[in-house]
């Protein structure tokens, strides 16, 4: 069974610091401790988003390890350290910018898998699928208080922050499963394509994520996409009210929004 040394699997202090920031920001949102509730929500969402990005890439690396690529341990991918990723711009910076600009969760490719070490098309497909499946699992966890009916008594700002976080995870899972070169969805089907097709598509891979983001700026595409996202979130008992005010709070630089009290409103 492929494995890695204890040192290669030791959780990075950088990741632990991110988790600590997320924990402190959760407390600040829950207690309304911060003078700017929007900044506390911003810190919670961004730190939680980066934590989910680390878990997304860890899932790729861990699946690759069990698929036969022992080099992922030596590269530091199993430590959950975002500084070890091969494309920090695509992995951390661009996804955070996408969140700030449009509330879109879109992780980028980060870990370099030595595919020649892995035998079997199913293994290659599972390595690619592991990342967005992690986002889907994160979405289930974040939305659990909603679909379990345990939101009574939860502070409104925390509820909205969770709703916006859920939107990011659902968009990340769905967008990453698109069969677009450069995204994980294409990585799932790529092993099943002919060599000729793969060679023809390969030059477009670096631009796939930017192309998707560009299409989402088309109003008709954007509306249709977010209608689908809202439908998925409604099935998890997260309403458009929750995600809207979560995103408004997140944009703290626009000032604190005047949110109507949740009591008396039927969601």
Alpha carbons 186 and 177: distance in angstroms, whole number: 7
Active site (annotated) includes residue 57: yes
Q: What is the pTM of this model?
A: 0.90
pLDDT the model gives residue 15: 95
Write down the pLDDT at residue 72: 92
* pLDDT tens, N- to C-terminus, the chain (267 residues): 566 777 788 999 999 999 999 999 999 999 988 778 999 999 999 999 989 989 999 999 999 999 999 899 999 999 999 888 756 666 667 777 777 776 777 765 578 889 889 999 999 999 999 999 999 999 999 999 999 999 988 999 999 999 999 999 999 999 999 999 989 999 999 999 999 999 999 888 878 877 888 888 899 998 999 999 999 999 999 999 999 999 999 999 888 888 887 765 656
pLDDT at 109: 58
Q: pLDDT value at position 111?
A: 81
Burial 223-240 (b: 16+ CB within 10 A, else e): eebbeebbebbeebbbbb
Q: Looking at 8, 57, 190, 248, which residue is catalytic?
A: 57
CA distance 17 to 27: 15
Question: Residue 150's pLDDT is what?
Answer: 94
Task: Give, in order, the Cα–Cα distances in Å from 37 to each of 32, 97, 117, 221, 239.
Answer: 6, 21, 49, 32, 21
- Which one, of 228, 58, 238, lies nearest residue 163 by Cα? 238
CA atoms of 3 and 252, how far apart (whole Å): 44
């Amino acid at each position: 069974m492929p494995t890695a040394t204890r040192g290669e699997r030791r959780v990075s202090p950088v990741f632990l610091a991110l988790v600590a920031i997320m924990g402190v920001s959760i407390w600040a949102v829950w207690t309304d401790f911060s003078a700017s509730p929007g900044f506390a929500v911003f810190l919670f969402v961004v730190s939680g988003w980066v934590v989910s990005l680390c878990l997304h890439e860890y899932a790729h690396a861990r699946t690759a390890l069990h698929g036969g690529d022992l080099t992922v341990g030596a590269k530091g991918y199993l430590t959950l350290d975002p500084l070890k990723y091969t494309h920090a711009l695509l992995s951390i910076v661009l996804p955070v910018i996408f969140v700030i600009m449009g509330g879109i969760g879109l992780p980028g490719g980060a870990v370099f898998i030595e595919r020649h070490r892995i035998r079997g098309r199913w293994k290659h497909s599972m390595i690619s699928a592991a990342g967005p499946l992690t986002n889907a699992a994160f979405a289930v966890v974040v939305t659990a208080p909603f679909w379990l009916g345990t939101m009574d008594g939860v502070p409104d700002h925390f509820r909205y922050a969770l709703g916006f976080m859920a939107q990011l995870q659902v968009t990340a899972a769905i967008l990453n499963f698109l069969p677009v070169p450069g995204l994980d969805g294409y990585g799932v089907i790529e092993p099943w394509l002919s060599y000729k097709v793969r060679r023809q598509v390969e030059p477009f891979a670096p631009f796939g994520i930017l192309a998707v983001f560009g299409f989402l700026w088309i109003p008709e595409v954007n509306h249709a996409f977010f209608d689908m996202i809202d439908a998925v979130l409604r099935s998890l008992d997260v309403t458009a009210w929750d995600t809207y005010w979560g995103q408004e709070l997140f944009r703290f630089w626009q000032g604190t929004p005047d949110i109507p009290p949740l009591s008396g409103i039927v969601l």
